Structure 1
Amino acid sequence: MTPLYDFRSITTVDIPACFKIAALSMQDDKQNQFKAACRDDPYDHEEGMRGALQHWTKPGSRSQTVLATDRNSGAVVGWMVWNYHEPKPEIPVAELEPVSEQEGQKTQQARSSKARLEAYSSSEMQKWMKVLTPAKELARCS
């Protein structure tokens, strides 16, 4: 079976299509809608993604971008980015030192702490949405 999609790195020419896809994919996201409702400084996901994509695609970036295009039409159908922090992407995995059991436990504790923080943050956001967003608007966004 012939593949339906082609994959390649994102170039600066692709950025407008990518940030448009990002904006469309997040338009029904409640947290983005909530942030966009700020009167003084409304959040614009599309504009934020424009800057992020420009950063991710510039030379020397510690990111790997992938663009998916329809093989027949050439239309952009999706994209993704991997951001490398540690280890550096140029270091082969075989050169990494093995993790001790104690370090593994620290990593597990950190993951558990992160999950608790994310759950707490989400519940706090829900509380503030109830306080600051009219019930009629919340019903529309649900």
Structure 2
Amino acid sequence: MSTPICNLSRASLKDVPKLAEIAAAAFNNDAHTQMKATSPKPGSFVRDMAQGLRMWINTPSRCVVLKATNDSHGTIVGFISWGYKGVELDVPLLQSEVGSDEGGNEKGNSDPAEPNLEQTSTTTDQPQETPIQGADRIAELERLTSSHLADFQKRIMPAGTRCMYIGGITIDPVYQGKGVGSQLIRWGIEQADRNGVFCWVHSSEAGWRMFEKLGFKEVDRLTVDLDAWAVRTPRAEGCDGWGQYTFRYMVRQPAEA
């Protein structure tokens, strides 16, 4: 068994600003995220990511958000959202916890409806003071990807299914490639193997190879031509287009006892 790289513990509402900040930094080079960000107002990614994280944290009976903390200085360096159905997780990480949001409002655990993975997407439902050029095109792309994911969820998780799934995983760019992501994923894999259930993930372009190394296999995909939906070309020097982007749906079967 490998030596833990970071301390893993359950995230609370007070961690949300830091987690959203890490996500914004990590997705700075993700073509799909950056293309969509050319339309929404500045700051919408962080705002919507924070909203999604609060929803996950406030649904302890169906998901757990784990944060990875660097023991040497106590800094959060990454996180993962594990959803689960019909699975009993280890008790220590699910003990009742009360945190506070950015406004200092104390909140405890609630039990809303089952989380929708797309609630952590980068589009926003906030009212706009003025129309944004090209926003309709990007909103239509969001509807396309959301519909495709929702269809897969219905097929992979029909009523009565027992499984675990990754709603999101993000590592601080400074700590990427150091095994933090693998440690966060392995935590859930061990839980799934103990319960004899499969895991699945809706992977970004950057993440699928890590999942593959940990036993996930592609079972479906969605490839989109980002330039067909883009409002403007990338700002990067020498780059005249966004190119194609592939979302991979990957499944890992439980290890045999």
TM-score, normalisation: structure 1: 0.64
Change (3 A) 1:52 1:127: same
Q: Deviations over 1:5-61 (max 9, x none)?
A: 2110001121111110011111222222221222xx447221111011101111545
**8 Å CA contact 1:55, 1:61 repeated in 2:** no
Matches within 5 A, 1:116-127: 118-119=222-223, 122-123=224-225, 125-127=226-228
Matches within 5 A, 1:72-83: 72-83=72-83
Change (3 A) 1:20 1:128: same
C-alpha deviation, 1:77, in angstroms:
0.8
Q: Distance in 1 between matches of 2:13 and 2:5?
A: 24
Change (3 A) 1:67 1:61: same
C-alpha deviation, 1:134, in angstroms:
3.9
User: Higher helix fraction: Structure 1 or Structure 2?
Assistant: 1
Larger Rg: 1
Report how many aligned residue pairs link the two structures.
114
C-alpha deviation, 1:93, in angstroms:
3.8
Change (3 A) 1:62 1:141: farther
* Dislocated runs of 4+, deviation >3 Å: 1-4, 90-94, 134-138
Q: Deviations over 1:55-75 (max 9, x none)?
A: 111154511211111111101
Q: CA RMSD in A?
A: 3.2
Runs of 5+ in structure 1 lacking a partner?
Answer: 97-110
> Residue 89 in 1 paired to residue 90 in 2?
no
Identity %: 22
Change (3 A) 1:127 1:12: same
> Residue 51 in 1 paired to residue 51 in 2?
yes
TM-score, normalisation: structure 2: 0.38
Look up the match of 2:28: 27
Runs of 5+ in structure 2 lacking a partner?
Answer: 89-161, 163-193, 198-218, 243-257
C-alpha deviation, 1:2, in angstroms:
7.2
Q: Distance in 2 between matches of 1:48 and 1:18?
A: 12
Change (3 A) 1:77 1:140: farther
Look up the match of 1:139: 239
Change (3 A) 1:134 1:21: closer
Q: Distance in 2 between matches of 1:135 and 1:72?
A: 38
Look up the SS of the partner of 1:64 in the other structure.
strand
